[in-house]
Amino acid sequence: MNKDQNPPPAAAPWWRFPLVWMVIGGPGLVVLASFVTLWLALSRPDPVVEEDYYRKGVELSRPPVDKKLIPAMAGRNHAATPEADVPQPRH
């Protein structure tokens, strides 16, 4: 061995390498974010849906009816009813 050569450097501990922290940091950040998401989900529950949500949804999708046209619509529906479905008149 030559006296002019430097001795090999001592091996550094694993936590001294920045690449190790980049590899550990990504998944660690994801785990931390999942715990934050879990905490948010448990601390802020969803509001209760109204009991008559279906009726309100149907009313929203139904077009508005003009009050003046109600007799005409009743006549149209009566004329379109098959003869067998028309109730017998009461005496």
5-56 pLDDT, tens digit per residue, is: 777 777 888 888 999 999 999 999 999 999 999 999 999 988 878 888 888 8
- Give, rounded to a whole angstrom, the gap between the first and last alpha carbons of the chain: 128
Stated pTM of the model: 0.44
Cβ-proximal residues to 16 (8 Å cutoff; 6+ apart), any chain: none
Q: What range does the domain containing 72 cover?
A: 14-82
Domain count, the chain: 1
In a domain, 8, yes or no: no
In a domain, 28, yes or no: yes
In a domain, 43, yes or no: yes
Burial of 80 per CB tally in 10 Å (0-12, 13-18, 19+)? exposed
In a domain, 6, yes or no: no
In a domain, 2, yes or no: no
In a domain, 53, yes or no: yes
